[in-house]
Each structure stands twice: as C-alpha cells, then as structure tokens.
A and B are shown apart, each in its own frame.
Chain A
Amino acid sequence: MTNMSRDVLHTLSSTSIEKCMSCGRCSASCPVADEMNIMPHQFVALLKRREVEKLMESNTLWKCLSCFACIERCPRGVEPAKIVEASRLAVIRQQGESHISADEIPKYLESESDLPQQLLVSAFRKYRG
C-alpha cells in the first residue's frame, strides 16, 4: 500500500466518516463480523486515524458480503460498507490485475451469451488494470 491515502478512499467511497459517533451498531448488525479481523466500526475508526494500510491488508475486504446491514442501521449515515467496497476496489486496481479490456467489450456484446450490459459495465469498472 503506497499511494492510497485516506482522502482518496474518502472520495472513492463518497462517505462522511466524520459523522461516526462510534456506537458500534454497524458491527453489531454485521452477519460476518466474527470472521473479520477488522470489524466495520474498527474499519471506520482506522480510516479516521488514516491507517489505510491496515485496512488494505485486512481480510474484511474479502469477508464483507455487501449486504449493507451496516448502512441500513447506521444512525448517522456513515455507510461503512461503501468504505469497505472502496478499499476493495483500491486493492484490486492496485494489484494491476486486468481481467477485461475495452477492446474486449464489443466481443461480449455480440456474443450469444446474452450477458447483461450492466454486468459488463461494472466488471469493466472493477477489473480493468
């Protein structure tokens, strides 16, 4: 983790961590918090402290189900799942793994696989190098 700053994550996730009052309702609501080495409320706290590297290395990124229970129940509108999602994207992009390139898109569109266009758009967003 080198050039990823808190502010970049902030922008990526478009959330306001300053609103967090550390109530813990996100972690209490999370169905997989048990398996995370950094629970949702800790995730927000670490981001507040700019300890971005810890977030990038945590298994939370891969355990989070994106069920959005934390977002639903947060009384302050902090949206922890969006921060996890932003961190996940940041890691994926950084790893430079390119699973899809712009040139390939027409091929998928023309194929008879009937892939939804939305899927292609989101895959392109997530998995391009």
Chain B
Amino acid sequence: MKRIGVFVCHCGTNIAATVDVVKVVEAAKLEPGVVHAAEYPYLCSEAGQNMIIKAVDEFGLTGVVVSACSPRMHETTFRKAAAKAGLNPFMVEISNIREQCSWIHKDSKDGTEKSIILTRAAIAKVHLNEPLHPGESKVTKRALVIGGGIAGIQTALDIAEAGFPVDIVESTPSIGGKMAQLDKTFPTLDCSACILTPKMVDAAAHENITLHTYSEIEKVEGFVGDFTITIRKKARYVDMKNCTGCGLCYEKCPVKKAPSEFEQGLIKRTAIYTPFAQAVPNVPVIDKTQCIKLKTGKCGLCEKVCTPKAIVFDQQDELITEKYGAVIIATGYDQISLEKFGEYSYNSPDVITGLEFERLTNAAGPTGGDLIRLSDKKKPRSVTFIQCIGSRDTSKRGKPYCSKICCMYTAKHAMLIRDKYPQIEVNVFYIDVRTPGKNFDEFYRRSAEEYGVNYIKGQVGKIIDQGEFLTLQSVDMLGGKRMDLQTDLVVLATAIEPVKSVRIIASMLTASIDTNNFMTEAHPKLKPVESPTAGVFLSGVCQGPKDIPETVAQAGATAAKVIGLLVKDKLMTNPCTAESNEKFCNGCSACTKVCPYGAIAYDDGIVHVNKALCQGCGACAVTCPSGAMDLQGFSNRQLMAEVDAICR
C-alpha cells in the first residue's frame, strides 16, 4: 500500500471562498493509504512547496495528491517539488478544485462535495501510479517561419541574429506583407516602406535566412525539436537564378487585365508581374490563370525579350523537405468581405476600404498619391470615414471583436488628407474612439484639434450612391439628430480577420485555433507567444489584432522563445506514451489508423509504438478493442480506478 499525502490549496480566496478546504482535508484523511493531509493558503509558493517536501520526508510519503488549480498551471511546479524530495515526479497527481469546482460553483456545499470527490479520484489514481522516466530527443537547430510580413520578417531576423538558420515561407511572390502596402505609419507618420524595405533586404541578405516566396506548406510531420516539413514552391515560370529583375518582361506582356492584388484591385497588372517595385526577391512570376502562352501555347513575348533567358514555361512546382526544431506561425490578416453589408454600397467605386485608401494616398500607388474619386477622377470635396464596419458585430455578418487598428489608422488617414488638401472636409463616424498606446491618444486628438477633423459620435445606416456624390443616412448621437450627409468619398474601416489558410496550417501543426480563427496561445497572460502545441510559436495578427509596434514587439518575444528552444541540444520527452501489450494484441491494426503522429508501426501481426513520435494523446488506447494498448501514466486501470472512486 502506498503512503499518500494530500495537500489542499486555498489559492487565497480563489478556492477557499467557495470550497471548505478543511472538510476536503478531513475527507481525504479517511481514504485508504492517506497518511497525511493538510491545507495551505498558497501551495505554489516556496513555503507551500517546502511544506510538501518536508511532509514527504516526515511521513515517508510514496505518493502525493495536490488539490489546487488546473494541472496546466502548476503540475510542473509540484512535480519539481516532489523530485526535490526524492520522489519520482510522476508520483504526483493534481485534482483541479479551482477551475472545476470553486470557479464554477456558487454554492459552497456543491463545490466542497465535488472537491472531495475529485480529490478521492486522484488518491485512487496515485495508488496505481508507477515511476516514469522521460527519454531524450534531439533538437534540429533550424526554425521555420510561416508568413513573410513584418511579424515573420522580424521573428526571422531576431532568430537569425542569434546564429540559427531560419527559413521563411511566404505564399505571395514577395515578402513584405500588409505593411508594404501601407503609406504612413501611426503615431509618427513615418513612411511605411522606408522602415520596412531595409528589413526586407536584410532578411534576404542574411546568411542565416532562406526565403521561400510563392511557396506553401504542404505537409508536416514530427514534433517539437524534430519537425519534418514539406514546402511546395509553386512554379514561378521564371528562373530565380538567371533573372536580373530588369522588368522588360512585364513591360512587354500583352495581358493587362488582371486585378493587382497589391493595389487592392484598384488597377490592373500584367500576367507576368512583380507585385510592387521594391519586391524581395525582385523576380517576377507568371500568373498561369492569365498568361496566354500557358493557356493557349501562343504569345511567349516575355520569353523573347528576356536576354538572360530566365523565362521557363515548363517549370513545375517543386517540393522541398527540410527538418526544423521550431515552427513560427506569422500568417497575418485580411480585411473581411463586405458582401453581406449591402447597405454600405461597397460596389460603388467611391466607397473604399481602409487598405484601399492606403494605396490611394500612397505616392507609389495607382494615382501617384493623388486623392481622387475613382468614379469620375475628380478631387473629392469631402471624405467621410465610418468606423467599426463588421467589427464588434455579434450578428452573423461581422466579427464580435474589436479590430484594434482602425481608430488609429483612420486618425492617420484623416490627418494625411487635411495636411495635403486643407480644402477637403473630413468626417469620421465613430462608436468609441479607442487609442490605448504610447502617444496614440495625443495623435488622435491632434487630428481633431489641429487638423480640424470632424468626429461625429454616431453611425451610418445606409450609403446611397447618387453619382455626383454619396448620401449617408446617418445619426449624430451627441447632437441628437438624424442627418442625410452628402459626401464625395467614403472609407470603411473594415474589420480584419486571420487569413483563411491559417486553419489548414493550424491543423497540419495540430495547433489550436479559436472560434474567430485566431491562433490560441498556450496561456493568455503567461505564455502569449507559444501555441499549446510544443514547438509551435505565434507572431503577429494570427494570434489577435495588433498594430505594427505591438507586432514587432511580439515578434521579438517569439524569437526569444524560439532561441530558448534551439539552444538546447536535447529535450526531455514526455514519458506518458502508449505501450502495447503483445499478449492481448489481436493484430487488428485499428490503432495505427487513428494515430495522428504516425507513431505506431504494424509488423507481422503485432504493433510497435515509436516512443519518440508518440505524443501520448491516447487515441490508440480508446480505439483498441482488446485492451492491449495502454497509455503510461493514464492506464486503463488508473482511469477506471478514478471512475470507481467518483461513483463510490
């Protein structure tokens, strides 16, 4: 019989205000094998841990139960304490009486009763615990960054600077992301390209960074420290080594009707194109859906004018397989589709989104920075911005969250207009102006006080395009009046959402994602740049809306965590892996089919678990019809003992 000690935590008042911890201790004392039980205000504190260490020695404990918060919070803490006391760390069981009891029960009686039951279950499990010993696995000292926007570039640069090789996979033909499309940046109004392009060039030139542009993740295998990832380099139809980036090809290309992705569809581009002048790499791609040669076999003008013979029409997609120790998701965002918001007349050329405005006001943009109405090329007499389009919207049309960047970029847009064209009247319809950030509120106030931007607390119900101008059915809530405001150009602060492909990437990496498709962090406060899946890290808007300063800060934090992993030579593996009992195995191989890690080999009628690959998810154990498959640390016997204890 094991000698078990039970320790019940108050967690200040977090647990003790709802759960009668003394009763839990008294109940635990009655359980078989329990030789000591005690409560303490904060077990995770040094004094609390020392109490456990002392008790192990004093009472000769061979098993420990800690009734406290979730094991995700402090299981490691208490296992370490047990190890200090000379126990095998896997002889510690946690019963979660905070998240599962005190935090969800209002009634003290119920909360206490459930705490007693869960503690009883943990005691029953500890009786069957065996000492476990973690193995070791290697760390491939190379990182993969998915996404080449400012988040991905910054993370890659920081990791590369620490001396580790990094690959960036970017789905479009150039790195740079959304920041490359922006005109100026708040709150300092410095030129976005001026601060971004040096970083793009640095990334391309860095000896530790390899760029895979126009590429996507095809397949992911392995686990933390030892991922094997296949990258699909889409056919560019241009040889990257030979191309000099002279640009003759796209000057001569006769197809001029493809909407330019970089210019937000405001102008057309050719079939062979580089997305923008400062693209890195400065090598064009051929859009195979547009190219006449690739579609019909005729044309080939670009090939004829290309002196270094870089055009390769028979180029195929290339698959590259590489090993990585860590993966960083930095896939960024898109603006939501405005299809469902018919009342805003987005189909009118004079109703545009925030990102489209960035291109329209950019000196390198389709109008050379000249602000005009796209319908009649006339200078607008007034421009009206509408905030929160699709943000903070709990209906099926929008997103329930605040997109966070719009208040500030709208203040920036408004200021840019008033600075360049003082005669243009600028209105902003807002619900709340949210500017928490260094020098942010000052910036917003400056737009109103010094630049005379007219902020109207209220919203627009409908936009009617009347040709010469637009009429906005709107309300001024502070003035308490309905208005039919006439304006020449409308900018919609459109909600942002994670790029659609992030779902596929997340599922390949078995990293979790929330209901809005934002990547979930391992802990919202204490592990904000790690995914709950070991070895997968997050950077930028894929984790939640954020602006450039925040993204760059997070990218650095992510890099620090990745470096912390890559400097290790070996990792301790989780010993809670599956094991098959040959005597019971009937050779049905059902387990091999459900294993998401490909860790089970089927050989000659029996199965064998590869301990290095097994992540201990337990899918095989529940699938096995003969009970041969078992998970160490969570054996069938242990789980049944817990159920029995609960039902007693």
Measuring CB to CB, which residues of chain A are less than 8 angstroms from any residue of chain B? 19, 21-30, 33-34, 39, 41-42, 69, 73-77
Contacts and interface: CB of A to CB of B under 8 A. Distances in A.
Given A42-B480, A73-B343, A75-B392, A28 B474 contact: yes
Contact of B477 (A24, A30, A73): A24
Contact of B473 (A19, A29, A39): A29
A25, A30, A34, A77: residue with the most chain B Cβ atoms closer than 10 Å: A25
B459 A28 contact: yes
Which 7 pairs between the two chains have the least Cβ-Cβ distance?
Answer: A29-B461, A28-B461, A75-B393, A27-B475, A28-B475, A23-B431, A24-B458
Given A23-B388, A28-B461, A29-B462, 18 more contacts: A19-B394, A22-B431, A23-B458, A23-B459, A24-B457, A24-B458, A24-B459, A26-B461, A28-B473, A28-B474, A29-B343, A29-B473, A39-B482, A41-B475, A75-B393, A75-B394, A76-B392, A77-B395
Contacts, number: 67
Interface in B203-252: none
13 contacts: A21-B431, A22-B431, A22-B477, A23-B459, A25-B459, A27-B482, A29-B461, A33-B475, A39-B480, A41-B477, A73-B461, A75-B393, A75-B397
A41 B474 CA distance: 12
Interface in B386-444: 388, 392-395, 397-398, 431-432
B474 to A, nearest CB: 5
A75 B398 contact: yes
Contacts of A76: 392-395
Point out which of B394, B458, B475 has the most chain A C-beta atoms below 10 A from its C-beta: B475
Contacts of A75: 388, 392-395, 397-398
B428 to A, nearest CB: 14
B460 interface: yes
B461 to A, nearest CB: 3
A34 B395 CA distance: 26
Place the interface of chain B in its size category: 20 to 34
A5 B432 CA distance: 30
Interface string B444-467: 000000000000011111100000
A30 B392 CA distance: 21
B395 A69 contact: no
Nearest to A41: B477
B562 to A, nearest CB: 39
Contacts of B480: 39, 42
A76 B398 CA distance: 10
Contact of A28 (B388, B392, B393, B460): B460
Nearest to A23: B431
B618 to A, nearest CB: 40
Contacts of A28: 458-462, 473-475, 482
A2 B343 CA distance: 40
Contacts of B473: 28-29
Contacts of B388: 23, 75
A77 to B, nearest CB: 6
Nearest to B389: A75
A25 B459 CA distance: 5
Contacts of A29: 343, 461-462, 473
Given A33-B482, A77-B394, A24 B475 contact: yes
Nearest to A72: B343
Contacts of B482: 27-28, 30, 33-34, 39
A73 B343 CA distance: 9
A70 to B, nearest CB: 9
A21 B460 contact: no
Contacts of B432: 21
Contact of A69 (B398, B461, B475, B477): B461
Question: Which of B393, B394, B459 has the most C-beta atoms of chain A within 10 angstroms of its own C-beta?
Answer: B459
B637 to A, nearest CB: 49
Contact of B461 (A21, A25, A42): A25
Contacts of A21: 392, 431-432
Interface string B164-188: 0000000000000000000000000
Contacts of B459: 23-25, 28
A74 B395 CA distance: 8
Given A21-B431, A30-B482, A39 B393 contact: no
Interface in B130-151: none
Contacts of A25: 459-461
Contacts of A33: 475, 482
A53 to B, nearest CB: 19
B477 A27 contact: yes
A87 B461 CA distance: 24
Contacts of B431: 21-24
A124 B473 CA distance: 37
A76 B343 CA distance: 17
A39 B431 CA distance: 17
A30 B461 contact: yes
